[in-house]
Amino acid sequence: MKKSIGVFERMYPNPVVLVSSSYNGADNIITLAWAGTVCSKPPMISISIRPSRYSNELIAGSREFAINIPTSKHIDICNYCGTNSGRDVDKFKKLSLTKYKPFKINTPLIKECPINIECVVRNITNLGVHDLFIGEILSVNCDEELVYEDGDIDYDKLDIISYCMGKYFKNSIL
């Protein structure tokens, strides 16, 4: 027997990403769990951010962002970047994170994250309390030890995390 439990936006644990942004000399990082693939050709991903968030302002201004994939050892960083505003603190400096030069965009990447995805904004849509940013992927950058000879990523070596309802989850291979 099933029971209706109401209406809410949480489906199941979503991937945790650290989104870096930069505009007019200001850099920021925001933690998001609302990110996902939306198109394969051209390759595009989406992120959802409230209009009041500092990162929303920076991404809308620069029309670019980077998805940085954290691992379980970055949970404290994810918590900090998700609960503190870049208007008040330089998160790169506060957390001693290394800015890594991107290949295609101007927004700094987070070197400590094993995978970085450089995106340009193709569309911004207000959906209510969130803006949906659609980013076209220009470059996927990965730590060399995680890349097979054929260029694919060895996901077995990653310790990536998901998030739902205030809890982090470790992803594992079945």
Assign a CATH topology to domain 14-170: Pnp Oxidase; Chain A (2.30.110)
pLDDT tens string 51-86: 999 999 999 999 999 999 999 999 999 999 999 999
Helix (H) or strand (E) holding 92: helix 91-94
- Give the C-alpha separation, 94 to 27, whole Å: 12
Separation of alpha carbons 65 and 157, rounded Å? 25
| pLDDT over 90, % of the chain | 85
Domain boundaries, given as residue ranges, for the chain:
14-170
- CB burial of 58-97 (b: ≥16 within 10 Å; e: otherwise) equals bbbebebbbbbbbbeebbebbebbeebebeeeebbeebeb
* CA–CA dist 8, 58 (Å, integer): 28
What average pLDDT score do residues 109-134 get?
A: 98
pTM (two decimals):
0.95
